Amino acid sequence: MIAKQAQGSGSLAKARQALCGNSADIHYASKLWPVFRALISGALDSMRAVLGEALDQVLSVIDEHVHVWFTQVLQLTPATQARSQ
């Protein structure tokens, strides 16, 4: 019985650690997104002659998809988002 409890607590601790580690990774990714966005924007800006006005639309779509993804993954509410900005 004690061995089973010890095993269960180890599994719980591992699950908690994995969850916290995943949250930290996602939070770190959210902090890095502006850097990646700047890189993407710079790369696409060099193609402005080809893309024309579509460039702004492409960046807008990328921003929207990233925003939705972070909102879902981090389970952000409007109040949480306002505090993080």
Mean pLDDT score, 1-30: 64
Residue 27's contacts (CB-CB under 8 Å, 6 or more residues apart) are 74
Q: What is the pLDDT of residues 19-30, one digit of tens each?
A: 566 777 777 888
Tokens 């890095």 correspond to: 32
The mean pLDDT value of the chain amounts to: 77
Q: Are 47 and 55 in contact (CB under 8 A)?
A: yes
Residue spans of the domains in the chain: they are 25-84
Q: Return the pLDDT at 63.
A: 93
In angstroms, what is the C-alpha Rg of the chain? Answer: 20
Mean pLDDT score, 40-54: 91
Distance CA 31, CA 72 (A): 16
- Please report how the helices 54-74 and 2-45 are oriented relative to each other, as an axis angle in degrees rounded to 10: 170
Q: What is the pTM of this model?
A: 0.58
pLDDT at 36 over 50: yes
